[in-house]
Amino acid sequence: METKQVNGKFELIKLPYGTDSLEPVISSATIGFHHGKHLQTYINNLNAALPGSKYENMTLEEIVKTSDGGVFNNAGQILNHNLYFTQLCPPRENNVPKGKLAEVIDCQFGSFEAFKEEFVKKGSTLFGSGWVWLSADNSRKLVITQESNAGNPIRQGLRPLLTFDVWEHAYYLDFQNRRADYLDKMWQIVNWETIERRFICCRCCK
């Protein structure tokens, strides 16, 4: 589903959970700053750049695919954060994927544990700020990628399924410089039903 402007502007998404619902993995303070401050700033910046530009009637995804410079940086961060925040849920024990996605993960990576290890390694070793992604390519093969800064795999023709934010503002209040610990804890709050829906959608849509 594409993200359209409302009356010529993009709006801050509503969280599908309370700001304290992700504790103890992510604190209410982090969610408040991350969603309410950082993401809102990207939205304000992009909305200010749209009037009179070639992007003013585009969807967010179209802007991310075709823009550069400040417009891309802000649009990319909005899209990335929208995907990030809407894939999370309150902590669950033994939180693992089920369904078709679980089968494909086992087939490609050998096991869910092996997949997690590779995903966390990619996130831990990304230099500076950015994102680690699980996406599907045009053949529906799963791909783990690193993207610096505001990068999003849709610019390489991939379909994003899951992402962990490795900008420091995503975890520093709760984990300080322990990025690997943050990534390890994140598996408790992934809403695998949402990731499965994204995967099924990308398998059905061309």
State what percent of residues in the chain have pLDDT above 70.
Answer: 97
Place of tokens 């902590």: 91
Q: Confidence band (pLDDT; 50, 70, 90) for 202? A: confident
pLDDT of residue 201: 87
Q: Rounded mean pLDDT of 110-137?
A: 98
Does 128 map to a domain?
yes
pLDDT at 203: 59
CA dihedral for 172, 174, 177, 178, sign (positive or negative): negative
**Per-residue pLDDT reduced to its tens digit, 145-199:** 999 999 999 999 999 999 999 999 999 999 999 999 999 999 999 999 999 999 9
Binning pLDDT at 50, 70 and 90, where does residue 205 land?
low
Asked if the structure places residue 90 within a domain, the reply is: no
Q: What is the CATH number of the domain that holds 152?
A: 3.55.40.20
The answer to whether residues 106 and 76 belong to one domain is: no
Q: Does 196 lie in the same domain as 111? A: yes
CB 112 within 8 A of CB 101: no
> Are both 78 and 172 inside the same structural domain?
no
Report d(CA 5, CA 10) in Å as an integer: 5
CA distances from 32 to 48, 146, 170 (A): 23, 26, 11
The answer to whether residue 132 is domain-embedded is: yes
Q: What is the pLDDT of residues 57-68, one digit of tens each?
A: 999 999 999 999
Residue 5 lies inside a defined structural domain of this protein: no
| Judgement on whether residues 122 and 60 belong to the same structural domain of the protein | no
Residue 15 lies in a domain: no
| pLDDT attached to residue 53 | 96
Q: At 7, which helix (H) or strand (E)? A: none
- Statement to judge: residues 122 and 172 lie in one domain: yes
Is residue 171 in some structural domain? yes
CATH of the domain at 38: 1.10.287.990
pLDDT of residue 204: 55
Q: Within 10 A of 33 (CB to CB), how many other CB atoms are there?
A: 16
- Render pLDDT for 5-56 as a digit per residue (tens, 0 to 9): 787 899 999 999 999 999 999 999 999 999 999 999 999 999 999 999 999 9
Domain residue limits at 129: 99-204
Instruction: Please state whether the predicted TM-score (pTM) of the whole model is above 0.85.
Output: yes
**pLDDT confidence band for 131 (50 / 70 / 90):** very high
The answer to whether residues 81 and 130 belong to one domain is no
Instruction: Judge if 126 and 34 occupy the same domain.
Output: no
Same domain? 79 vs 147? no
| Domain presence at residue 18 | no
Domain count, the chain: 2
